[in-house]
Amino acid sequence: MVIDAEAWEILRSKLSLEFAVNVVSVRVPFTKVTKEDGLRLLDVLSISKPDDDPFPGEDFEDGAHLPAAVQQCTGFNVAGDIVRHVGKELAVRCFVGHPRENPKEAGCRELISPVLAAAALLAGEVQMHAEYSVAGVEAHGTVDWVMNFKDFSVVVVEVSII
C-alpha cells in the first residue's frame, strides 16, 4: 500500500505516531581512513612506494610559455613567472604569520593553497575545488581540496606542517 503525502499527514495527525530512526552506515569519515586502507581501497597497495622514495617528475622548464588565456588573466608569460610569484606569496605569508605559530589546519591551508593553485595552472586543464564534500560507499566527509583532470581526481584530505 502506498500512502501519498497528504494522506500520510492526515493519518499521522489522527494516530499521534512517533518514530525513531536509526541510520546504520558502513562509511567512515576520511579522517579515520589510514594510508594503507586508502591504498587498498584504490587497489594500489601492492604498487605504492615508500614515502622516502623521490617522486619521479619531469624537468621543470622555467621558460615554457603559458597559454594565451593565462597570460592575459595573470600577466605571467612563462612558467617561471608563476613559480617566482608563489615563492614571493609564501614569503609574504610566512613574514606576516609564521607557520609554526599557527599549525592549525586553516594556517596550513594558507601555505599549501598557492602551491596547489600554481601546480594546477602549470599542469593545465586541472580544476581545483576547496572544501569539497564527498559521499561514497566507503567514506564520506569534507576534503580539503579536489583536483580534477578529465576523469581523474586527486583528493587532498589533510595538510599539516612538519
List the alpha helices (DSSP H) in the chain. 5-15, 35-41, 68-74, 79-96, 105-123
pLDDT score, position 36: 78
Q: What is the pLDDT of residues 59-71, one digit of tens each?
A: 678 898 999 998 9
93 pLDDT tier (thresholds 50, 70, 90): confident
Q: What is the pLDDT of residues 10-36, one digit of tens each?
A: 766 666 555 544 545 556 666 677 777
**Residue 69 CB partners (closer than 8 Å, separation 6+):** none
| Closest C-alpha among 143, 147, 125 to residue 134 | 143
Using CA atoms, how far apart are residues 110 and 103, in angstroms rounded to an integer? 10
pLDDT score, position 40: 73
Q: What is the pLDDT of residues 33-89, one digit of tens each?
A: 777 777 777 666 666 566 554 444 556 788 989 999 989 999 999 999 999 999 899
Contact 126, 147 (CB under 8 A): yes
Beta-strand pair 127-135/152-156:
unpaired
Using CA atoms, how far apart are residues 142 and 38, in angstroms rounded to an integer? 16
